[in-house]
Amino acid sequence: MATANFADVRRFYQELLDLDIVMDFGWIAMLSSGASASVQINIASQGGSDTTKPDLSIEVDDVDEIYQRAEALRLEIEYGLVDGPWGVRRFYVCDPAGKLLNVLSHIGV
């Protein structure tokens, strides 16, 4: 992700998602959870339930935990923690670069 606000964006993702810095050259950094995951790409014409289209969707194991962390970090929640009828629990938050994130976990439908 390109940003002029490198340090703040790196810190945001590191703190919100509890990621480790696995590479940092001062102009590019790689953050990792250390977990293996399949590759998924979402392509959407709307955000679901007629919400704004997010810039990025991030699937996590426990969205409730990440939501509580976002609140503890005093981040502005753009769309509250809700269960979508297509089987996800999610919330929206903006990163310091202004990117709208859809943070989600899959739930049973």
Q: What is the mean pLDDT of each run of 10 residues along the chain (109 residues)?
A: 92 96 94 86 85 93 97 96 94 96 88
6-34+49-106 adopts what CATH topology? Answer: 2,3-Dihydroxybiphenyl 1,2-Dioxygenase; domain 1 (3.10.180)
Phi-psi bin for 10: left (phi > 0), alpha (psi -120 to 50), beta? alpha
Overall residue count recorded for the chain in this entry: 109
CA distances to 4, 60, 61, 88, 102 from 73, rounded to whole Å, are: 22, 18, 19, 23, 17
The confidence score (pLDDT) of residue 108 equals 73
The confidence score (pLDDT) of residue 89 equals 97
How many CA atoms within 13 Å lie on the side-chain side of 41? 1
